[in-house]
Structure 1
């Protein structure tokens, strides 16, 4: 992992908080509460991205995307999913060409 990659750095901090909980740490709190709390936060942040995207304030949307990204990383650590796993899947998908599904015809 590149030391200059903020996503990788944040992932490492989240792993550290899981392995060595820190009092007063929001990340440690999420792990203490468990997977249901983490999933709830991912869902909430997803909805907030949608709502903020309907507005004209990109600054707010960037903030909400950042929140979603953080909570998704917490979920990944909780589930033992490495960044490399996601990168590999994205690379595999990038190789696909012409995989758009045809429009659905309602009867």
Structure 2
């Protein structure tokens, strides 16, 4: 696999032509709630890995999160091009942010 685009295409193909025993096909079979649950779980695991300063775990969990996000995008009919266009649109813009509490303050 050369890129996220390749993985996205593979996931899209798996949605169109489910393969018996495939985890991706399983996620699509279970539907949006299962996919969202996995995105949430993997997001939390990324945060924990970063907080623990475990870069190997951060890489592994980030890969899991990206995979599940791609499954979500395919499920919802969102293309990678749309995500890229949004990122380009935001590039160089100054956002108006307020100071937010740190995790320690929660």
> What TM-score comes out, normalization by structure 2 length?
0.88
Find out whether 1:54 has 2:51 as its counterpart: yes
Larger radius of gyration: 1
Q: Give me the CA root mean square deviation.
A: 1.5
Partner of 1:24: 21
Deviations 1:45-66 (A, max 9, x none): 0000011111132011000001
The number of residue pairs the alignment matches comes to 100
Partner of 2:97: 101
State the secondary structure of the residue aligned to 2:20: coil
TM-superposed deviation, 1:13: 0.4
Deviations 1:36-94 (A, max 9, x none): 00000000000000111111320110000010000000000000000000000000111
> What TM-score comes out, normalization by structure 1 length?
0.88
Flag the structure with more relative contact order, 1 or 2, with Cα contacts below 8 A and sequence separation at least 6: 2
> Which 5+ residue runs of structure 2 have no aligned equivalent?
101-106
Q: Pick from 85, 88, 91: which aligns with 1:88?
A: 85
Q: How does 1:64-79 map to 2 (within 5 A)?
A: 64-79=61-76
